[in-house]
Chain A
Amino acid sequence: MGIIEFDEKTGKPILIDPRIFRVQFRSSLGKLEKYYRALEEGRILGTLCRECGYKQYPPRSYCPRCRSKDIEFYELPSVGRLLTFTEVNVKPQTHSQYPDYIVGVVEVDGVKVVGHVKARFEDLKPDQTVEISVEKREGDEFPRIVFKPIK
């Protein structure tokens, strides 16, 4: 046992860094505080420009169309259309503890929302109608947006 190890595929010598660099980000929320407070209560907020009526999701504190800062939060409707989806089988390190999950993109009231689809992959079809809600995954503190197909 020395400091040199060997790559499992090529057998070539490698040095495994014994020092692990732990990275954790702290994201300042600013006006997004309101979005996350609502999400904890099960509501999903978008933003609406009071000047020109432009709707946005995810929320933003100014309007990219007219640059107005006169913005209000509004609650997204709870029924939308599933545009597309994929079942993630090989997961990133930070999601490796979960069983395979389906990520979908849903169009609702002119904006698009990303979330997890609760269904079997085989049963899904683009353009089908879904119910949009918020829930916590077993063992998770973080609320997530979920889509459930409406029969």
Chain B
Amino acid sequence: MRVGIASIGISRFGRRNDVNVFDLAFESIEEVFNEGFISPEDIDYIVFTSTGFTPEFSPAGIYNEYVGLNPKAVHRVEAACASGSAGIYTAYNMVKSGMADNVLVLGLEKMNELETPSAVEYLARLGSYFWEVRDYGITFPGYYALFMTRYMYEYGATEEDFCLVAVKNHYYGARNPKAQYQREVTLEMCMESRYISRPIKLYDCSPITDGSAAIVISSEDSIKRLGVDTPIWIEAIGSASMPASLTGRTSFTSIESARLAAGKAYQMAGIEDPIGVVDVATVHDCFTIAEVLAYEDLGFAKPGEGVNLIRDGETYIGGKIPVNLDGGLKAKGHPVGATGIAMYVEIVKQLRGEAERGRQAPIKKGVGLTHNIGGIGQYAYVSILRR
């Protein structure tokens, strides 16, 4: 029995204080039901994914009430920036086990509900607080900057190289009406931006974002019964972990858990080499260095050669493997708990052929990939979707 995706929804991303936090959740729910294949009565269970950022510490029940899904059961799943994929993993297993036919996964983060210094603190505390944040004040840009420093040193990459990732992702963000930044940026703008955690600059960073995304994970029988016209199937979800702390790392040029998760996903989906098989990918570009590491951890390039893919434009449409055609976390935005679901929504749109003009990949094999990392690899998920 296959497990697939019956319906998707996503809010506009951005600094969304034009709506309250509950209506931001409802924007995705509304799209899910407006697709016309599924109605609230069909939903067996709701998985809510979020890291917090709200004054309520157990938000799942409150959102479930607001979006009108009582008395369907709900709980929250949390895995930092990979919460969305963790929620989908949970839903997949509920459906695969036969406990549910249709599970709604709703991801939400309204990060601007906190003022910026509190938001930076909140994000940093998704890392190893006791040993690293408390005494040394490391931040999330800081964690990834440690990788960027080492990567530049070992492989001779430059700050310009990483800015090329920002230029690409903004190019596609400019073509995505749901993106936080719907404008292109130049290499010069990126290079001139101020340091956030040197060598990471402002334009190397994904923004603080408000956004929600939702998806319905369903059994094959249910998808047929509901009459879903273009079902997208979840072929594989590979997952892994690694130490959250810097002291437990063996490499600062790779996220090893991502490498392991990719290996499992490729094995499950019967993929030997993703190049030429995967039509389109979304990768976790919370920082530009993270996208380059993803190229290598996913086997799109050999260690040290990921930077060549962006230099040669191979991750644009028409290149070897188009990556982050929605603008990525960088330009579309990164509402942390919703990101993994937003990645799935994007790949479903791409595989259905529903992406906007100028950002639709040619779909030849009907295969898409999502790569979603929580923290600096303490949570890692790689999924393979197929039309």
Give A residues with C-beta under 8 Å from B.
Answer: 7, 9-10, 12-14, 17, 21, 27, 57-58, 83-96, 98, 101, 103, 105, 111-116, 121, 125-127, 142, 144-145
Contacts and interface: CB of A to CB of B under 8 A. Distances in A.
Contacts of A93: 117-118, 120-121
Contact of A89 (B18, B138, B194): B194
Contact of A84 (B139, B147, B198): B147
Interface in B121-142: 121, 124, 130-139, 141-142
A37 B239 CA distance: 40
Contacts of A86: 142, 145-146, 148-149, 197-200
Q: Is the interface of A mostly helix, strand, loop or mixed?
A: mixed
B153 A126 contact: yes
B147 A90 contact: no
Interface stretch (B1-9, B67-75, B245-253): B245-253
Contact of B247 (A12, A57, A98): A57
A55 B145 CA distance: 27
A12 B17 contact: yes
CB-CB nearest 4 A-B residue pairs: A95-B137, A86-B145, A92-B121, A93-B121
Interface in B230-264: 245-249, 252
Given A58-B247, A103-B136, 12 more contacts: A13-B17, A17-B55, A57-B247, A58-B131, A83-B252, A88-B139, A90-B120, A93-B120, A95-B137, A96-B117, A101-B137, A126-B154
26 contacts: A7-B17, A21-B55, A58-B247, A83-B150, A84-B153, A85-B146, A86-B199, A87-B198, A88-B137, A88-B139, A89-B195, A89-B196, A89-B197, A89-B198, A90-B141, A91-B120, A92-B120, A92-B121, A92-B133, A92-B139, A94-B133, A103-B138, A111-B247, A113-B247, A114-B138, A126-B154
